[in-house]
Amino acid sequence: METAAVKRKRAEQEDSDNINGDELNDAAGDIDLSLLEAIEKSRPAVETLDLKTLKKLVLSFERRLKENIEARLKYPDQPDKFADCEVDLHDDLQKLRVLAGGSELYPDLVALNAVPSLLGLLSHDNIDIAIEVVNLLQDLTDEDVMDDDNPEPVIVLVDALIENNVLELLVQNLQRLSESDPDEVAAIYNTLATIENLIEVKPAVAELVCEKTKLLRWLLAKIRVKEFDSNKQYASEILAILLQNSTVNQKKVGQMNGVDVVLQAVAMYKSRDPKTGDEEEMVENLFDCLCCLLMPLENKERFVKAEGVELMIIIMKQKKSAYGSAIRALDFAMTKYPPACERFVDVLGLKSAFAAFMGKIPVNKKEKRERYREEMEERIISLIASLFGGIFRGSRRERLLSKFVENEFEKIDRLIELYVRYADRVKAETARLDQLKFDDLEIDDDERYNRKLESGLYTLQLIAVILGHLWCSEHSQVRARIEQLLKLQKLSKQDVKDILQEYHDNIGDLDGPDEKESAQGRIQRFISAL
């Protein structure tokens, strides 16, 4: 009722403006051109955005806010009585948006104590007022206002917003916005944009907003909805941002049944492709969320229990656009988690995996084919290395090894082919880095190693690990084939041992000293066996 009254009042004003405009147009024909020029000159000049202008805008806003509070208290049941001042308050909020063009004034805005007053309006009874505050906050925190050479003014504003509970107020307002009203739908988008802006300025906000608000619950509910819209896409993007680089958030979403929710969301695309580019981007966001969630061990367990392995294999078999994303998710799920590897073998995933390994990868025409195939190649090599690392004995191990024997050892042929290709890349990058050193360009050992990893060394190391597993199987024909192919390529087992030794020496202790020692022990056994 209140909103309707305000909108009715604004409509009356717009009608009045239109009438005046029409009258002016009718009279224009009778007015001398010089008179029009005089009128134009008499118009007030646009004010320069400076401290004086800021103070004037804030003072006007505070006055309108006070009038609105007093009117609502005086006439709580008579919306028409405070409709005028509500329109004025809305207009003053719109005027404040000009401050986005002068971020250097943000500390002054904070010093004038305007932030608490603005944020208080996020819970205003008139949803239009709250929406206008959201629009203002989105403008003030937009990435375009940040001066890379002097980010401090924006940081000052963001700090003040956070200190005054902007996160809680934004999410509370988000929960009351409707999906049926176009203005409120836009406000949902702008709310998410504001939260993203705050995270961009202060990365710690990513965990803070999940700790202090119910945003995660709202996001999960949004991506659960079957119908696609722009806000569902944005919700998936914000969720991915919150999950990346935050183990705390990953575990929290897992505890909220988030793994199952994300699996249900991607399951909608197991046998169909997204209809638009925006929908395709949303699916990629959902898989980003899934891969982030699969970092903590407990979420890998939830993934297996929710039949995530089976779903990813179905997606691979359907050969739709999510094919590559399914391989990526499986790679995350099976890394250092034997139960996922065992389930993969039990539900007949080896056939699909080795078809991809042999290069039978469906390529979406929209993809950059070469880069896409290369990425899938690296993922499937990682996946197979994880299978070997997660399945140590028994019939599952035999089924995995048998894949390299069938069809006259074609998988070993492919493995050596890949080894040679990635070894050549690493060799070329090593030569380039040696030239840099020759040219007296400083590059330390860590940077040198990282650049080699980026050029393909990591994938080459995984191929060497797979060769180590195959050699240690003590299958005489497998060993003979590996030696024969290495010799044909003018390589030797020593080359493989050198790659394994470099891998061994650079294993970190991110998972703890015990895990590091165990991993190095496995690699050392390969080196000794070769």
Query: 86 vs 382, which has greater pLDDT?
Result: 382
Tally of domains within the chain: 2
pLDDT (mean) for 434-446: 72
What amino acid is encoded at 368 in this protein?
A: K
Q: Is residue 231 assigned to a domain?
A: no
- The string of pLDDT tens digits covering residues 25-52 is 444 444 455 554 554 444 444 467 899 9
The pLDDT of residue 282 is: 97
Q: Is residue 483 assigned to a domain?
A: yes
- Comparing 383-397, 475-489, 509-523, which segment has the lowest mean pLDDT? 509-523
Q: Is residue 155 assigned to a domain?
A: yes
The residue range of the domain holding 510 is: 409-529
Q: Is residue 437 assigned to a domain?
A: yes
Q: Is residue 225 assigned to a domain?
A: no
- Domain containing residue 172: CATH number: 1.25.10.10
- Comparing 36-50, 277-291, 387-401, 511-525, which segment has the lowest mean pLDDT? 36-50
Give SS3 for 237. Answer: helix
Measured distance CA(455)–CA(271) in Å, rounded:
35
The pLDDT of residue 11 is: 54
Q: What is the mean pLDDT of the chain?
A: 89
- Comparing 50-54, 245-249, 509-513, which segment has the lowest mean pLDDT? 509-513
Instruction: Give, in degrees to the nearest 5, the angle at Cα 174 between 226 and 176.
Output: 90
pLDDT (mean) for 12-35: 49
Q: Is residue 358 assigned to a domain?
A: no
> CA 212 → CA 166, 172, 217, 295, 322, distances in Å?
11, 11, 12, 23, 34
Q: Is residue 218 assigned to a domain?
A: no
Is residue 228 a contact partner of residue 273, using CB atoms and an 8 Å limit? no
pLDDT (mean) for 274-291: 96
HEC secondary structure over 256-267: CCHHHHHHHHHH
Report which DSSP code applies to 457: I
The pLDDT of residue 37 is: 55
Report which DSSP code applies to 123: G
What amino acid is encoded at 86 in this protein?
A: E
Indicate whether 9 pLDDT > 80. no
The pLDDT of residue 306 is: 97
What amino acid is encoded at 311 in this protein?
A: L
Both structure tokens of 516:
């590091």
Is residue 427 a contact partner of residue 439, using CB atoms and an 8 Å limit? no
Measured distance CA(107)–CA(101) in Å, rounded:
14
Residue that is last in its domain, among 213, 239, 271: 213
Q: How confident is the model at residue 119 (pLDDT cuts 50, 70, 90)?
A: very high
Percent of the chain with pLDDT over 70: 89
Contacts of 465 (CB under 8 A, 6+ apart): 385, 388, 389, 500, 503, 523, 526
Residue that is last in its domain, among 175, 195, 213: 213
Query: 410 vs 518, which has greater pLDDT?
Result: 410
The pLDDT of residue 365 is: 56
Q: Is residue 88 assigned to a domain?
A: yes
334 class by beta-carbon count within 10 Å (0-12 exposed, 13-18 middle, 19+ buried): buried
pLDDT (mean) for 183-203: 97
Residue that is last in its domain, among 161, 179, 213: 213
Contacts of 205 (CB under 8 A, 6+ apart): 162, 167, 195, 198, 199
pLDDT (mean) for 56-76: 92
- Comparing 15-24, 138-147, 445-454, which segment has the lowest mean pLDDT? 15-24
- Would the pTM of this model clear 0.85, i.e. be above it? yes
Indicate whether 108 pLDDT > 80. yes
- Comparing 61-75, 170-184, 353-367, which segment has the lowest mean pLDDT? 353-367
The pLDDT of residue 44 is: 43
